[in-house]
Amino acid sequence: MLDLNIDIRLQRGSFPVEMAVRITEPVSGVFGHSGSGKTTLLHCIAGLVKPDSGHMKLNGEIFFDVAKKQFTPPHKRHIGLVFQDAQLFPHLSVLNNLLYGYRRLKPIQRRFELKPVVELLEIGPLLERRPGQLSGGEKQRVALGRALLYSPQLLLLDEPLAALDGRLKRQILPFLRRVRDVGIPMLYVSHALDEILYLTQTVTLVDHGRIVGHGSCLDALTQADSTELADGMDLRNVWEVTILENNRQHGFSVAALGKQRIILPPAPASEGKTAIVSVRAAQIALSRQRIEGITIQNQLPGRILRIVSRRHGALVEIDAGVVVVAEVNGKTVGDLNLREGDGVYCLIKAQSVEYPDG
Amino acid sequence: MTLTPEEISALCLSAKVSAWATLLSCPLAIAMGWVLARKQFFGKPLVDALFHLPLVLPPPVPGYLLLMSFGNQGGMGRWLNEHWGFSFAFNWKGAALAAAVMSFPLMLGPVRLSFKLIGSQLEDAARTLGANPWSVFFTVTLPLALPGILSGTLLAFSRSLGEFGATITFVGNIEGETRTLPLAIYTAKNLPDGEDMALRLIILSLALAFGALLANDWLARHIERRLGMK
């Protein structure tokens, strides 16, 4: 459960920050360009930065209220924070890093024990080492474990993958998903939308020190209409599929996506296992009828839920068993006379499907 | 090389005076170093300059100022004597105070720098893991500043061993009480047949200074390894 209510104003360097949002979704992302004020927002929530005015409430508890002269320091907020560069204590072993917050809890406050967390993040062999002897990805896993063992009522993640290269990112992503699934409310800050969408479809958009949108991707985008941030958002569909068949001879896999079958590039998972797939909204085309004699193998029938127009096109949300978002040229919406409730086929090239963590 | 009782007395006195001087300045240097590294306040450059004055003043000047304030006729000196029966005048405690004042900037420098180099992000990490400000200081800041504190301490100790001008001005040159190694060298040199003694004391000083500096280097490396910095 999460109910974060924040309405704050402060001066950060030369630009004013004015942010108001209410977040009740247990897992959501904060998206914005570098320097837009995302980290400031996070630090205000954690209590590391004290706003000049406004108020903040988490799950009914007032943490900051300038009118009531109230400010709860970070160590009394019980909010965890994972930093971009892990910030492990270099003079402590991995084990003592992990237990740093855990030891400060009363036994009754502890929701997680060392062993399951170590297993979840696969850091068993590292326990005796010093942070200086760890790779970037290992450090970040330990930092996640350290925050988890503190059993925070809200876990803030500040660009935890930004310092890692593409290969390491893929390796850490599944761990983030595991952390998400243990049930701690999470706020994931990133300037990379694909990372956020990998974890959640709920975003808060931050632009020039303001919150310009909040909600599901399409809702937030609609609110943030015509900002440069919204225009630049490269939406992605992220689905969990179950692999049905790995056809090595012809180099493709077949998977179940909801009740539909979808052809994919060779899957990194074996038959019967699940995999996460991602397709850019701009890679999906729509047609009124099933098309014969075309190389696009996936033609998923569905019904249009809504159409959102943006500066360089239109976003069409379709219920095809799973929710599909397709980005098409604005003119074609008119040409095809697409409306909410209409039946369409989502055309997805197998080759446009990616495995973000595979 | 055998040492005469006078020489042994000078050596022991030097060690005692320097040890107390260092012990006295260490907590203050940690507190001041932290404040100067982390806090912004009105008059900070002034405070900073004040602590560094002994480094640039002719040593008799701080010695004379100490005499005026902590001598038996000085305000602080009289107060301490009346209320606590404690006196710095013409005894080894005064020598320790003089050495502490003179070596303080040498300790403050490395301590302050090491506090400055510890990223505030590590402290933030500790704060978001439930550590209160004292806890943060003692479990994160202080251990990480240890190499700097140690290096400053040894530097101050070595400097105290060599303290001359302020000591002789403040507490005089009394055998067995305030005649530390440098004062003993000075005294021996002025004796008609004291050249042998001076030479022996000089060799002793050299050995002591070298030892302290080498120990400093070894300890710093050892601690850095322990802290996982290397």
Residues of chain B found within 8 Å of residue A85, distances taken between Cβ atoms: 121
B66-101 in b/e form (b: 16+ CB < 10 A) is: bbeebbeebeebeebbeeeeebbbbebbbbbbbbbb
Mean of pLDDT values over B189-206 = 87
Mean of pLDDT values over B89-104 = 91
* Interatomic CA distance for residues A301 and A321, integer angstroms: 9
* Interatomic CA distance for residues B143 and B132, integer angstroms: 16
Shortest Cα distance, chain A CAs vs residue B125, angstroms: 7
Residues of each domain in chain A carrying CATH 2.40.50.100: 237-352
A95-127 in b/e form (b: 16+ CB < 10 A) is: bebbbbbbebbeeeeeebeeeebbebbebeebe
CB distance B124–A131 less than 8 Å? Answer: no
Plot region of A188 (φ>0 → left; ψ -120 to 50 → alpha; else → beta): beta
pLDDT score of B229 = 59
The helix (run of H) or strand (run of E) holding residue A9 is strand A4-12
CB distance A90–B140 less than 8 Å? Answer: no
Q: DSSP characters for A158-214?
A: ESTTTTS-HHHHHHHHHHHHHHHHTT--EEEEES-HHHHHHH-SEEEEEETTEEEEE
Mean pLDDT of chain B: 88
Mean of pLDDT values over A223-230 = 83
Domain assignments of chain B as residue spans, ordered by start: 5-226
Question: pLDDT at residue B129 above 80?
Answer: yes
Mean of pLDDT values over B117-127 = 91
Residues of chain A found within 8 Å of residue B129, distances taken between Cβ atoms: 75, 80, 100-101, 104, 146-147, 150
Mean of pLDDT values over A263-276 = 92
pLDDT score of B8 = 86
Question: pLDDT at residue A43 above 70?
Answer: yes
At position A117, the amino acid (one-letter code) is V
CB distance A89–B131 less than 8 Å? Answer: no
Question: pLDDT at residue B142 above 70?
Answer: yes
Looking at 3.40.50.720, 1.10.10.10, 3.40.50.300, 1.10.3080.10, the CATH number of the domain A4-233 comes to: 3.40.50.300
What chain A residue is nearest to B145 in terms of C-alpha separation? Answer: A91
Q: How many residues does chain A have?
A: 358
Mean of pLDDT values over A71-80 = 95
Question: pLDDT at residue A349 above 90?
Answer: yes
CB distance B130–A87 less than 8 Å? Answer: no
Question: pLDDT at residue B213 above 80?
Answer: yes
Q: List, for residues B31-60, the tens digit of each pLDDT value.
A: 999 999 988 899 899 998 998 899 899 999
Q: How many CB atoms lie within 10 A of CB A5?
A: 17
Question: pLDDT at residue B230 above 60?
Answer: no
Structure tokens at B76: 């602080």
Mean of pLDDT values over A248-269 = 92
Shortest Cα distance, chain A CAs vs residue B225, angstroms: 9
> Which class for A90: exposed (0-12), middle (13-18), buried (19 or more C-beta within 10 A)?
middle
The percent of residues in chain A predicted with pLDDT above 90, rounded, is 75
Mean pLDDT of chain A: 92
The helix (run of H) or strand (run of E) holding residue B204 is helix B195-226
| Chain centroid offset of residue B13 CA | 15
The percent of residues in chain A predicted with pLDDT above 70, rounded, is 100
Q: DSSP characters for A301-320?
A: EEEEEEEEEETTEEEEEEEE
Confidence tier at B228 by pLDDT (50, 70, 90): low
Query: Is the model more confident about B176 or about A263?
Result: A263
Shortest Cα distance, chain B CAs vs residue A316, angstroms: 41
| Chain centroid offset of residue B210 CA | 17
* Interatomic CA distance for residues A102 and A150, integer angstroms: 5
Looking at 1.10.3720.10, 3.40.190.290, 3.40.1390.10, 3.40.47.10, the CATH number of the domain B5-226 comes to: 1.10.3720.10
ipTM entry:
0.86
Strands lying side by side in the sheet with A298-310: A285-287, A343-348, A298-310, A313-320, A322-328
Question: pLDDT at residue A47 above 60?
Answer: yes
Q: Per CATH, which fold does A237-352 belong to?
A: OB fold (Dihydrolipoamide Acetyltransferase, E2P) (2.40.50)
Contacts for B173 with CB less than 8 Å, ≥ 6 apart: B179, B183, B186, B187
Question: pLDDT at residue A112 above 80?
Answer: yes
What chain A residue is nearest to B147 in terms of C-alpha separation? Answer: A91
Residues of each domain in chain A carrying CATH 3.40.50.300: 4-233
| Chain centroid offset of residue B222 CA | 22
Confidence tier at A313 by pLDDT (50, 70, 90): confident
pLDDT score of A327 = 93
Residues of chain A found within 8 Å of residue B142, distances taken between Cβ atoms: none
Least confident of A69-73, A74-78, B76-80: B76-80
Shortest Cα distance, chain B CAs vs residue A17, angstroms: 21
pLDDT score of A175 = 87
CB distance A104–B129 less than 8 Å? Answer: yes
Question: pLDDT at residue B74 above 60?
Answer: yes
CB distance A150–B129 less than 8 Å? Answer: yes
The percent of residues in chain B predicted with pLDDT above 70, rounded, is 98
Structure tokens at A132: 């200086």
Taking a C-beta distance cutoff of 8 angstroms, is the pair A227, A30 a contact?
no
Confidence tier at A267 by pLDDT (50, 70, 90): very high
Ranges of H-type helices in chain A: 38-46, 94-102, 114-121, 136-149, 166-181, 193-199, 217-223, 228-231, 330-335
Mean of pLDDT values over B128-140 = 95
pLDDT score of A162 = 87
Shortest Cα distance, chain B CAs vs residue A132, angstroms: 6
Q: List, for residues A229-248, the tens digit of each pLDDT value.
A: 888 888 999 999 999 999 98
